[in-house]
Amino acid sequence: MTNKKHTLPTDLTTDRVHNLEDSRQYENGEQHFINCNAKVQNKARYIKTFAVKELERLVFEKKQIKHPSIPIELLSRETFRDDTANKLTACIIKFIQLKGGQAERISTTGRVIDRSKIVTDTIGIMKRIGTAEYIPGTTTNGSADISSIIKGFTVKIEVKIGKDRQSPAQIKYQEAVESAGGLYFIAKDFTSFLEWFNSLFEGF
């Protein structure tokens, strides 16, 4: 009696291989999902500080005074954040204006002028000729992000978020402002700006 070698059918063996591959792919995909999910969870959730909430309250009070005939529940509430440079700049400018000061954002970048034009050639085909030209900004090198006047004082405010630091040109600009009698402040968040502002101008 001969021993028969039992082998799996080719299609069944292939199915098992496919199932193993699918299982590995699923596990890899699941691990990738877990890794991505962990990255999302590791990102700190923004928590609005008391200072930012106070700004929102002041803005809403100003709106109530401006529109006394509109019921409070119908007035829209403006929201603010200070976790990016642009949003922090908006907070500071709005607050200075609420306190009767003058504030404006200074753009140190240049601008692009499009000097090209579309022409039609002799056979009716339209094409663009000419180029765009970059015009450098006219502000002083190293100028602060915000230029303001508060209680008669010239105040320059540089906005720095996270690990951002002053460039050599910005440090030189700060020295020039302070040597001329102006005030210069580096704002990293709205809370520290509000504390600095109150220490100098509250009750002035």
Total tally of structural domains belonging to the chain: 1
Rounded Cα gap, residues 89 and 95, in angstroms? 10
pLDDT at position 202: 81
In a domain, 66, yes or no: yes
In a domain, 195, yes or no: yes
Structure tokens at 76: 């829209």
Assign 136 a pLDDT band (cuts: 50, 70, 90): low
pLDDT at position 160: 96
Give the predicted TM-score (pTM) of the model: 0.68
pLDDT at position 118: 85
In a domain, 174, yes or no: yes
Q: Are 155 and 149 in contact (CB under 8 A)?
A: yes
List pLDDT tens digits, range 151-197: 999 999 999 999 999 999 999 999 999 999 999 999 999 999 999 99
pLDDT at position 7: 47
pLDDT at position 130: 78
Q: 79 is in which domain, residue-wise? A: 50-108+140-201
In a domain, 26, yes or no: no
pLDDT at position 10: 44
Q: Are 144 and 156 in contact (CB under 8 A)?
A: yes
Residue 147's CATH number: 3.40.1350.10
In a domain, 124, yes or no: no
Rounded Cα gap, residues 139 and 58, in angstroms? 32
Rounded Cα gap, residues 173 and 141, in angstroms? 8
List pLDDT tens digits, range 56-92: 999 999 999 999 999 999 999 999 999 999 999 999 9
In a domain, 118, yes or no: no
In a domain, 186, yes or no: yes
In a domain, 25, yes or no: no
Rounded Cα gap, residues 146 and 89, in angstroms? 7
Strands 126-129 and 117-120, by their bridges, are antiparallel
